[in-house]
Structure 1
């Protein structure tokens, strides 16, 4: 498996057409995964509500349910940001030979880096779940789930409409360059 830090090393040669197919495939994968992620977010909210409303003797069991729902959500996030990573690596290779793609890469650098950085953390979803809990053992809180904004290192992140709109804009920019080239 390719790690995030070394993602550009040893990339096999690909034709521009192959790279455009990679972009299209992973764009579709991420877009199609969006609704499932929203369902998993709802599962986390439900589990959190049950945990919050639980009696003291039930809280441990309910916390395990919250952690399970978070783990599932983060595995779905992992798939989504992996799609971003694959698009980013294809765009990187396209940008090496075409200034128009290099401009796209620069234009979307911030959002690409955010998604790729989150992917790095999601390689260990259980650690990501543990990192969400704040407070002492008696008064633990889960502010990320309450706000739908989760902590991955120093990055606050969620898969939301803003992320999806950025993905659409990135794909449209790449597709426009491809159309110009035909």
Structure 2
């Protein structure tokens, strides 16, 4: 798997149709993964609830359970944002030869940038888990999980309906160009 910083270097040649297939494949992967991520978020909240109700002598063990749940959640996030990364790389290649795709890339630049940036941070999952505790000297709260908004570097992020809607919009825009203005039906 390519690292984020060098993602455009040395890409093998691909036909536009192959690139559209890559977009379709990773779009479906991300969409199909969304519900699992929501389940893993619930596991984090459950672990937090058990920790909140624990006696002081149980805190360390409960915190480990919270960290374990966070690690699992972030591994699921990693898959989801990797799908975004693969779509972004395919769109980049399409945009090099088609101005319509370049406009799509520009229109979705911020949301693509956010997802690719989070992907970069998630390569270090353990550090991402530890970063969630920063700012809480007692390590007794996990505000990101409480708000469903996690810290990845300077970015606050979660996989939510807004992210999924952005993915649908990006996919529809790419496929509309492919089909010359006729949106492709989603078949995750």
* TM-score, normalization by structure 2: 0.94
Partner of 1:54: 54
Within a 5 Å distance, the mapping from 1:72-83 to structure 2 comes to 72-83=72-83
**Cα distance in structure 2, aligned partners of 1:12 and 1:143:** 43
How many correspondences in the alignment?
181
Partner of 1:69: 69
**Cα distance in structure 2, aligned partners of 1:101 and 1:23:** 13
Partner of 1:135: 136
Q: Does structure 1 residue 13 correspond to structure 2 residue 35?
A: no
SS in 2 for 1:4: coil
- Name the one with the larger helix percent: 1
**RMSD, matched Cα:** 1.1
Offset of residue 44 of structure 1: 0.1
**Cα distance in structure 1, aligned partners of 2:52 and 2:117:** 31
**Cα distance in structure 2, aligned partners of 1:180 and 1:36:** 34
Q: 1:67 to 1:174 in 2, by over 3 A?
A: same
**Cα distance in structure 2, aligned partners of 1:67 and 1:147:** 17
Partner of 1:102: 102
SS in 2 for 1:180: coil
Partner of 2:146: 146
- Runs of 4+ aligned structure 1 residues displaced above 3 Å come to none
**Cα distance in structure 2, aligned partners of 1:39 and 1:73:** 9
Q: 1:107 to 1:54 in 2, by over 3 A?
A: same
Structure 1 segments unaligned to the other structure (5+ residues): none
Q: 1:139 to 1:90 in 2, by over 3 A?
A: closer
Partner of 2:180: 180
Offset of residue 135 of structure 1: 1.6
SS in 1 for 2:12: coil
Q: 1:10 to 1:181 in 2, by over 3 A?
A: farther
Offset of residue 140 of structure 1: 3.0
Within a 5 Å distance, the mapping from 1:149-160 to structure 2 comes to 149-160=149-160
